[in-house]
Amino acid sequence: MRERINTYLTIGIILLILILLLSGIFYLPIMQIKQIKISGNLHIPENELHEKLLVAALKKPLAKYLGQTHMLLWGSAEVSDPLIEKITLHRDWLKQEIDVTVQEHERFAVWCEEQDCFWISKNGQALE
């Protein structure tokens, strides 16, 4: 009987510790983003890029439980924009900041048909 009580007590303590750890991950203020810094964007407005990053973060499976400002959502970002070649995210846990570095496609040439002109990348992709 005493062994059964000790077993239940041990399992209860382990479950309590797990619940406290999980609630800490979800609700601690240190897990919330205070600022998102964007650099490297030359042709894309910062507010438009910020909006696209938020949309990409909200598409992740845990977004509805964590919220858009949770640090765990911002490990990587998949943004579909013809101007963007690569996006690199760096989380600073102590400052609660996300540093976003954008690498845009390089404009290589201009293609014009009558009055419509398009920028083209080295790969032949029309940018804008």
In which band, very low, low, confident or very high, does the pLDDT at 111 lie, cut at 50, 70 and 90? confident
CA distances from 113 to 97, 116, 117, 118, 121 (A): 45, 5, 6, 9, 17
CB 23 within 8 A of CB 84: no
Give the global pTM: 0.70
In which band, very low, low, confident or very high, does the pLDDT at 14 lie, cut at 50, 70 and 90? very high
Supply the pLDDT for residue 95: 92
Residue burial 23-34, b: 16+ Cβ < 10 Å; e: rest: eeeeeeeebebe
Higher pLDDT, 107 or 5: 5
